[in-house]
Structure 1
Amino acid sequence: MTEPCNIAAALPRLARERPGQVAMRCPGAGGRYEVAITYAQLDARSDAIAAGLARRGIVRGTRTVVMVRPTPEFFLLMFALFKAGAVPVLVDPGIDKRALKQCLDEAQPGAFIGIPLAMLAKALLGWAKAARVRITTGRRAWLADATLAEVERDGADAGPQLADTGPDEVAGLLFTSGSTGVPKGVVYRHRHFVAQIEMLRAAFGIAPGGIDLPTFPPFALFDPALGLTSIIPDMDPTRPAKADPRKLHAAIARFGATQLFGSPALMRVLADHGEALPTVKRVTSAGAPVPPDVVAKMLALLPPDAQLWTPYGATECLPVAVIEGRELLTLRARTEAGAGTCVGRPVAPNQVRLIRIDDAPIADWDDALQVRPGDVGEITVAGPSATDSYFNRPAQTALAKMREALPDGSERIVHRMGDLGWCDGEGRLWFCGRKSQRVVVDARTTLCTEQVEPVFNTHPEVARTALVGVGRRGAQVPVLCVELAAGVDARAWPRIVGELRHLADGLVHTAKVQAFLRHPKPFPVDIRHNAKIGRERLAAWAATQSLEANA
């Protein structure tokens, strides 16, 4: 019998094959990992919750907001919703409250499941008014129709639950991080999730039985389908840069974690902590380019045969390309000379192509759109994990999606990443920055953030830099915002500026930068990974400063 196209379809099979294997361990009170759920329990309990939800009206196709912390309830709920064929709606709770309300309203959910604090916010702030079913993970049905515990009891005698979902049925709405605007709801179909699992398995050689420490909760949803055990870390997933490395190391050592996923900010926390990771064989870091110094430090902490992968992708399409840390380090000098950041080779069967830079919609693919080999263009990808629309955002969908006619008469979606890059002669993709963050100085000169900033980031007294443009695009003044390293005296700024100017000498990507501004605080970063610099906010700040005094 063929399994339905559903990320939860692996659970019944794994429950039969390895019922006693722990699927996930979660920290409880005081960070103690007394909560362990086996594959058999995950399967049976998610069946009961799916049946209980159905009895309350959450059924196939019901869009359901999930605002639950990464506890056992979150994972049980997500698999229950997938089994039911319902459509979970995930939004980062830490985004601007007005944007959050807009996202929830756009999703038009029929149900809302949340922790007590989320239920209170829903009532006070008018979140998701269309949601007719309200479930809380709290002990009492406060501001809700029922508790999750009651839902699970209601469905305890229902038996196996798994909707026969098809590849094109909507499986979820995952909102982007909103690092460059109001988050958009990416429509995931069941085939997209299934494709992601297979591409990740093949790209990284993941075999069942491993033990994973995923510090970004949605990635933990892949682990059961891959036959892994998830160790949910004792940390705030919305603040990876603030994670306590001692707690992470304690979990890794206690359970013998063999792989680790985290943002570049989380990698820096572990790299700076400097403690060896002898059991970890595979590290994966995504969300933004991983600085070379972090890659080098992490590799030094891992066993000699371990691998550190930095996949490139986005909520709309993941994975797109991947590179291993050692190869990345061999290209470090080129990055620091203005080439951009190499993100590796496309993950099969993706087709990555570069088109001319254009801010307008392009309805249909045309081979004539492509740039010459070696030229910078906008990155596009066509492949099984490339999503095809944003929910209730037709204008944004038109900007990001193209339709391509195929020789067999069918068609596919080509996703425009909104990123700039180029391909080298060895088939590697180089990331140059976000298209919306490029600085257009004049008709002949466009500067890309990832070709400029790494040059200046080599300065030993600089923590990081951010290129922004002040003024009208086409006549922008390129400004480098600078965050000094910890402990550097601000009085050294005039000397540092002179040294930064010297770094720019003779490099085509940096010579146009004339204004340097010391930012008095740490740069703003995205809520999801704490790694993407908020250049739009920095540009607004730079526009209020005196550029002449810093030119």
Structure 2
Amino acid sequence: MNPPCNIAAALPRLARERPDQVAMRCPGRDGRYGETLTYAELDARSDAIAAGLARRGIMRGTRTVVMVRPTPAFFLLMFALFKAGAVPVLVDPGIDRRALKQCLDEAKPQAFIGIPLALLAKALLGWAKAARVRITTGRRAWLADATLAQVEAEGTGAGPQLAATDGEDVAAILFTSGSTGVPKGVVYRHRHFVAQIKMLREAFGIAPGGVDFPTFPPFALFDPALGLTSIIPDMDPTRPARADPRKLHAAIARFGADQLFGSPALMRVLAEHGQPLPTLKRVTSAGAPVPPEVVEKMLALLPSDARFWTPYGATECLPVAVIEGRELLTLRARTESGAGTCVGRPVAGNTVRIIRIDDGVIPEWHDGLQVAPGQVGEITVAGPSATDAYFNREAQTVLAKLRETLPDGGHRIVHRMGDLGWFDGEGRLWFCGRKSQRVVVDAATTLCTEQVEPVFNTHPQVRRTALVGVGPKGAQVPVLCVELAEGVGAAAWPRIAEALRQRADGFVHTAKIAQFLHYPKPFPVDIRHNAKIGREALAAWAARQLHKEAT
């Protein structure tokens, strides 16, 4: 009989091989790292919680909302749910309340586990009404059937727990960030998680025994399966741009972290802090393109033999491709001239192809879909970590997934990334922006955000820019929204705008931009990584501004 396909299957082995190795350290409310879990403790306590959950009806296949902060309880609970074969449902708590309620209603959860505040919101706002089991991480079972401590006590002594999950069993429902619309629940099967572990280990050369500093909590779930020690940062994970770099530096130095994962916004915080990070050997940043100046500053703060990786992917498929920071910097001039952002070469196991741009459904793969080499199209991926469905979102599933018939008669799912890009002659993939955010001026002219904005982001008094289209696709007016650098006042805008217009005239694709608008506040960004610009909101703002000017 084959062993279960399960991300938690590595825990019992690691608990035997390295029982006293710290699996994770978490800061308490006072910021001190007094809460630790060894591999032996993580394995035994998650077994107890899994057994206790089963007694309360949370078992294989039970969809369970998890709204718990990145504390030991979160990691114990997640591994307990994986061991039980239950299906954790994760939604970013910072999204719009109506969108959050819609996500929870779509997931149709049968159980709800959360902090006391989440249980209160559930009661007041009608979240997850179908959930029949309610468990709180609080000290008292207020608005809940039991506390997590009670559940653990009920399962203590029950022995090892690991459901006989199959690779096709649903392992989790992870909602997207919703940066371009209402979040969608991505169906993760156990084989997807197991494949991600293997691909990450091989792509980055990760060996057991390292110390990781994951500033995005879901990524910390990979660490135990990789044999790493996680140091959970003292920060609000939904606001990485506001993290205190002094606290981050103190924890990295104290525990000798040699690996760091963070969004581009967090990398900017560390880069601008400007203090060396001598213990780090591998830094990984994902969620959006990392600006070249941030990559350059970070490399200057790291040891000479450290590697700065920027993997490309999405909730639906990760990792897709990867590039190291030094190679990225050699291509900086091409990015700043309008080529897009290079995201590197496909990770082994992935088949990455570029197809013609189409906003409609493409049910079956055929070779005629692919564009000529060097041509911009939509990026597609087929591989072991490419998911195959959104939960209760059939319309979105058929838009994003293709069925491909293989030479041996089998089939596989091809995921449409919703991103535009192209391959260069050396097999490197270039990201040009979201398909939904492209600006279609006329039948002959389509502008892509990542091919336009870097041209203007080089201006020393500009923090960042955002290309948006005003009007119907096919007849859009291209508008460049501009966020000025910190300390640059609005009085300087006329001069800056003229400089940007002159810069636009230097390239064929940017010469089409008709309007330059100063956005008076920081750009709206996604709640997950604080890095993806909310161009839809900026487009609506730009439309209002142009209407005011016209009237």
TM above 0.5: yes
Matches within 5 A, 1:220-231: 220-231=220-231
Amino acid at match of 2:458: T
| Letter matched to residue 149 of structure 1 | A
Which residue of 2 is the match for residue 363 of structure 1? 363
Alignment of 1:246-325 (within 5 A): 246-325=246-325
Q: Kindly provide the CA deviation profile for residues 62-107 of structure 1, in whole angstroms up to 9, marking residues without a partner as x.
A: 0000000000000000000000000000000000000000000000
Asked whether the 8 Å contact 1:258–1:280 carries over to 2, the reply is yes
* Alpha-carbon separation, structure 2, partners of 1:348 and 1:270: 31
What does the per-residue CA deviation read over 1:81-136, in whole Å, with 9 as the maximum and x for residues that have no partner?
00000000000000000000000000000000000000000000000000000000
What residue in structure 2 maps to residue 415 of structure 1?
415
| Structure 2: segments with no counterpart, 5+ residues | none
Structure 1 match to 2:479: 479
Partners of 1:348 and 1:117 lie apart in 2 by 43
TM-score by length of structure 2 reads 0.99
Question: Shift of the alpha carbon at 1:29?
Answer: 3.0
Query: Which residue number corresponds to residue 150 of structure 2?
Result: 150
For 2:176 and 2:323, the matched residues in 1 are separated by: 23
- Tell me the SS of whatever aligns to 2:30: helix
Counterpart of 1:455, as a letter, is: V
Contact preservation (8 Å) 1:468, 1:480: yes
The CA distance in 2 between the partners of 1:327 and 1:410, in whole Å, is 38
- Structure 2 SS opposite 1:230: strand
For the residue of structure 1 that corresponds to 2:546, the secondary structure is: coil
C-alpha contact 1:90 1:174 (8 A) present in aligned 2: yes
Aligned length: 550
What is the alpha-carbon distance in structure 1 between the residues aligned to residue 436 and residue 53 of structure 2?
42
Distance in 2, Cα, partners of 1:239 & 1:11: 31
Shift of 1:337: 0.1
Helix, strand or coil for the counterpart of 1:73? helix
Task: Give unpaired runs (5+ residues) of structure 1.
Answer: none
How many Å apart are 1:506 and its aligned residue?
3.0
Distance 2:238 2:2 in 1: 38
Partner of 1:132: 132
- 2:56 — aligned with what? 56
Partner of residue 106, structure 1: 106
Matched, 1:508 2:508: yes
Partner SS, residue 339 of structure 1:
coil
Q: Spell out structure 1 runs of 4+ moving beyond 4 A.
A: 547-550
User: CA separation in 1, counterparts of 2:376 and 2:245?
Assistant: 39
Give 1:509 shift: 2.1
Identity fraction in percent? 84
2:92 alignment partner AA = D
Moved more, 434-443 or 487-496: 487-496
The code of the aligned residue for 1:318 comes to L
Comparing 495-504 with 171-180, greater Cα deviation is found at 495-504
Distance 1:23 1:60 in 2: 25
Whole-angstrom CA distance in 2 between matches of 1:484 and 1:85: 50
Q: Secondary structure at the match of 1:543?
A: helix
Q: TM-score, normalised by structure 1?
A: 0.99
Q: State the Cα distance separating 1:262 from its structure 2 match.
A: 0.2
Mapped partners of 2:384, 2:546: distance in 1? 49
Q: Does 1:186 align with 2:152?
A: no
**Partners in 1 of 2:112 and 2:508 — Cα distance?**
53
Q: Equivalents in 1 of 2:71, 2:118: separation in Å?
A: 15
**1:515, 1:547 within 8 Å by CA — same for their partners in 2?**
no
- Once the two structures are overlaid, the 10-residue window that deviates more, 26-35 or 200-209, is 26-35
What secondary structure, in the 3-state scheme, does the structure 2 residue paired with 1:329 have? helix
The superposition leaves residues 127-171 of structure 1 with CA deviations (integer Å, 9 ceiling, x where unpaired) of 000000000000000000000000000000100000110000000
SS in 1 for 2:251: helix
Equivalent runs, 1:139-538 vs 2, <5 Å: 139-538=139-538
The alignment partner of 2:338 has SS state of helix
CA root-mean-square deviation: 0.9
- 1:58 corresponds to which letter in structure 2? I
Answer yes or no: is the 8 Å Cα contact 1:111–1:131 preserved in 2: yes
Query: Which range moves more in the overlay, 489-498 or 285-294?
Result: 489-498
Q: Distance in 1 between matches of 2:199 and 2:412?
A: 18
Q: Report Cα offsets for 1:340-378 as digits up to 9, x if no partner.
A: 000000001100000000000100001100000000000
Q: What code does the residue aligned with 2:294 have?
A: V
1:345 match: secondary structure = strand
> In the alignment, is the contact (CA less than 8 A) between 1:185 and 1:391 conserved in 2?
yes
Q: Secondary structure at the residue paired with 1:23?
A: strand
**1:70-89 equivalent positions in 2, closer than 5 A:** 70-89=70-89
State the Cα deviation string for residues 410-461 of structure 1 (Å, max 9, x = none): 1000000000000000000000000000000000000000000000000000
Note the C-alpha offset of 1:546.
2.7
